[in-house]
Chain A
Amino acid sequence: MTTYSDHLPSLDHQPYQHLFKPGFVHRRLYIDEDIFQQELLYLYGRTWLYIAHESEIANPNDFITRRVGGRPLIISRHATGSIHAFFNRCTHRGAIVCREPRGNTKGFICGYHAWTFNITGECTSVPLRQGYGKSFNLAQASLQPVARLESYRGFIFASYSKDVPSLTEHLGAAARLIDQWLDRGEKEPVVVQNGAMPFLVNANWKTIYDNAGDGYHPPFSHESMLKVFSNRYGDVDMNYYGSDFDKSPMYSKNLGNGHTFLDQRPEMHKLSAWKRQHVMPGYEVMENALIEKYGEAHALPMLDASTGSGMNLNIFPNLLIIGNQIQMPEPLAANKTLLTWFATSREGVPEEINAIRMRMQEDFPSFGEVDDSANFEACQEGMASIPEMAWIDIRRHQDTKVGALDPADQLWREPMSSDLHMRTYWQRWQELMNAGATRALVEAGVA
């Protein structure tokens, strides 16, 4: 089995070491524009990134355009069904070739000098080609594909560097949890064609990433939401954050390679996920309609499988699977991130189920995410503006010694409120960034 370390030069260059001390990370990691630019090269440039879901380009000649890790991409499907991803940058003068967010086409024509490319990015014509002389090679003018492209059960990943292990090795233990997220109910295919909420957050991408595995904040950041729901509906989902939830069966887990997992299923799906789901528009009428159509014995399992997954699966650095949604944090600047929440539906379920899934997926973004975003922006402002206070605290459950290997899978787990997630991904961050910085020195001939 190859690991990332097999791909590293032996030089032990650690330019970021001074920004870490046990239980703390330095504010510069969140506010420094140079480090941000280095992240785009060393981190986003040298690991697997989630770029799209296969259902977003379901049909032959479908394409989407999207920035991932800063790079504008075209992601497309050829008539034969094959999936392609290439940089959306004309090989001629560097213009963005395709300026539409999505569509169906046989090819792309650059608006500047009409260099033309097919759906797989191959250059098919260049106007007045004779002007380039006899040596001109059309194949060399093709749009540049990403270095590696692989899918795992519909999730398309790309790497901008060839030197990464296989996607399966990268995902490691996270793959089994993707399976669990997909294989609910009757395992109807998950579809990502239901629109998205793109949140613009004035905070570093890691402030958002920190939160994705922060099982400490829910009862405090989301107190307003929890109050409304428990006042109205009693013991519904997330009410279990009302007491010492570190004593609950929920947990935080290190999946390796920087990936982490928060499992709320032991509480959220206790007895019946649907019965514990707080209401959304259509809750009662759709429940009644489904029971009438299919009988209670059939309808309730369908409804149980429609609720939020109770999983927060964080695949470093840019795929966050939460509830029924897929989130992509996209770094825009040291202090600016686009956090897109993609809604999902399931193919082949009764349309009542997908309708309540839509309304359910609107709940947390407008009742919870808004407060998260406000807190992220408050963090960014505080970190950026006070040089006298340099350190960010990630100590929770570091010294309590309550972490242990899960006997079921030999993975390290800690209580729900642990900062295990942050300590896990920061370690990965350092591995990738140190390796990238080292390689840059080697490539520059300095080392």
Chain B
Amino acid sequence: MKPETKTTSFDLAFYDRMAAVLNAWKHLGEIPLDKIPPHGMMEEITRLLYLESRLIDQRRLREWLDLFAADGAYWIPADVDYRDPRRTIAWEFNDRRRLEERVERLETGQAYSQIPPTRTVHLLSNIEGMLADDGLLHVLCNFHIPAQRGQDHQARSGWCGYIFRKENKHWKIVLKRVNLFDADQPQSNLSFTL
């Protein structure tokens, strides 16, 4: 028996929305003046991004999950060409349910790719916001994540595209798209959280 799902997304309409978002991000130049969020809003979001970094770096993944909306998605493409996800595989493209499964897996104590766990330091910069329809807020930022596991030291870099929605006075992540700058190139252990 499969339990009733809380996740309603990932139908064809969802993919259409994703296509529109990708198109907007791909061609984004200067953010139009009337789309620039008020200063206070960007301050709130920046604090939230830093909180997210801290939770991931400390591997407090249950608290991290709480930052996502019930219909939130976490996406690490395996291409750098903004390809249509209906026909393109990603390193990860998780709805809320699969994101929870991912965290549960790491909690079993038998996820050998994370024994010992990868240590990370999330560094964020170039944080920009853009007001979107339906009260959504798009946020773009660059990241650099030094990572270490055993003898393996390397950094992951790229940019993140977020979509936030305000629910009961709290911003929730509707989408986190982690765009590794070398997403289409060979990747070693990616079982930690980006």
Q: Which residues of A pack against B, CB within 8 Å?
A: 193-202, 221, 223-225, 227-229, 231-234, 279-286, 289, 338, 341, 343, 345, 351-352, 354-355, 358-359, 361-363, 365-367, 370-371, 373-375, 378
- Chain B CB within 10 A, most for which of A223, A289, A363, A374: A374
B112 with A202: CB separation less than 8 A: no
Residues of B within 8 A of A201 (CB): 188
In angstroms, Cα B93 to Cα A375, docked, is 24
Residues of A within 8 A of B5 (CB): 279, 283-284
Residue of B nearest to A355 (CB): B86
Q: Tell which of A228, A281, A289, A361 touches B89, judged by Cβ atoms closer than 8 Å.
A: A361
In angstroms, Cα B84 to Cα A343, docked, is 14
Please, what's the 1-or-0 string for B88-99, where 1 marks a CB less than 8 Å from any CB in chain A? 111111110110
Q: Tell which of B1, B9, B87, B94 touches A345, judged by Cβ atoms closer than 8 Å.
A: B87
In angstroms, Cα B191 to Cα A201, docked, is 13
In angstroms, Cα B7 to Cα A229, docked, is 17
Interface residues of B in 58-84 (CB under 8 A from A): 73, 78-79, 83
B94 with A281: CB separation less than 8 A: yes
B92 with A362: CB separation less than 8 A: yes
Q: Tell which of A194, A223, A229, A374 touches B189, judged by Cβ atoms closer than 8 Å.
A: A374
B94 with A355: CB separation less than 8 A: no
Give the Cβ gap from A115 to chain B, nearest Cβ, in Å: 28
Residues of A within 8 A of B11 (CB): 282, 285-286, 289
Residues of B within 8 A of A198 (CB): 184-187
Give the Cβ gap from B194 to chain A, nearest Cβ, in Å: 12
Q: Which residues of B pack against A, CB within 8 Å?
A: 1-3, 5, 7-12, 14-15, 73, 78-79, 83, 85-95, 97-98, 101-102, 104-106, 108-113, 115, 152, 184-191
Residues of B within 8 A of A227 (CB): 105, 108, 110
In angstroms, Cα B152 to Cα A378, docked, is 13
- Where chain A touches its partner, the secondary structure class is helix
Residues of B within 8 A of A224 (CB): 105-106, 108-112
B1 with A195: CB separation less than 8 A: no
A281 with B10: CB separation less than 8 A: yes
Residues of A within 8 A of B115 (CB): 374
Give the Cβ gap from B83 to chain A, nearest Cβ, in Å: 7
Residue of A nearest to B85 (CB): A358
B8 with A373: CB separation less than 8 A: no
Residues of A within 8 A of B79 (CB): 195
In angstroms, Cα B16 to Cα A426, docked, is 49
B78 with A234: CB separation less than 8 A: no
Residue of B nearest to A356 (CB): B10
Whether A194 touches B87, Cβ cut-off 8 Å, given contacts A227-B108, A285-B11, is yes
In angstroms, Cα B115 to Cα A371, docked, is 9
Residues of B within 8 A of A221 (CB): 112
In angstroms, Cα B10 to Cα A284, docked, is 9
In angstroms, Cα B41 to Cα A173, docked, is 64
In angstroms, Cα B86 to Cα A423, docked, is 41
A200 with B108: CB separation less than 8 A: no
B3 with A232: CB separation less than 8 A: yes
A359 with B93: CB separation less than 8 A: yes
A223 with B101: CB separation less than 8 A: no
Q: Tell which of B8, B89, B98, B187 touches A343, judged by Cβ atoms closer than 8 Å.
A: B89
- Besides A198-B185, A200-B186, A371-B191, 7 new A-B residue pairs in contact (Cβ under 8 A), listed by A number: A197-B91, A198-B186, A289-B11, A351-B86, A355-B87, A362-B92, A374-B191
In angstroms, Cα B97 to Cα A195, docked, is 24
Residue of A nearest to B101 (CB): A228
A232 with B113: CB separation less than 8 A: no
A354 with B86: CB separation less than 8 A: yes
In angstroms, Cα B87 to Cα A345, docked, is 7
Residues of B within 8 A of A365 (CB): 91
Residues of A within 8 A of B104 (CB): 228, 231-232
Residue of B nearest to A223 (CB): B110
Residue of B nearest to A284 (CB): B5
16 contacts between A and B (CB under 8 A): A195-B90, A195-B184, A197-B78, A198-B186, A199-B186, A200-B186, A202-B188, A224-B111, A227-B108, A281-B7, A362-B89, A366-B92, A367-B105, A371-B111, A371-B113, A374-B191
Whether A281 touches B86, Cβ cut-off 8 Å, given contacts A359-B93, A366-B102, A374-B113, is no
Residues of A within 8 A of B189 (CB): 370, 373-374
Residues of A within 8 A of B152 (CB): 202
In angstroms, Cα B110 to Cα A202, docked, is 21
A375 with B78: CB separation less than 8 A: no
Give the Cβ gap from A202 to chain B, nearest Cβ, in Å: 7
Residues of A within 8 A of B187 (CB): 197-200
In angstroms, Cα B141 to Cα A39, docked, is 46
A281 with B98: CB separation less than 8 A: yes
Residue of B nearest to A340 (CB): B186
A352 with B12: CB separation less than 8 A: yes
Residue of A nearest to B115 (CB): A374
In angstroms, Cα B97 to Cα A279, docked, is 9
In angstroms, Cα B89 to Cα A280, docked, is 13
Q: Tell which of B2, B7, B87 touches A354, judged by Cβ atoms closer than 8 Å.
A: B87
- Chain A CB within 10 A, most for which of B90, B98, B109, B112: B112
Give the Cβ gap from A228 to chain B, nearest Cβ, in Å: 5
A280 with B98: CB separation less than 8 A: yes
A279 with B89: CB separation less than 8 A: no
In angstroms, Cα B186 to Cα A199, docked, is 5
Residues of A within 8 A of B15 (CB): 355
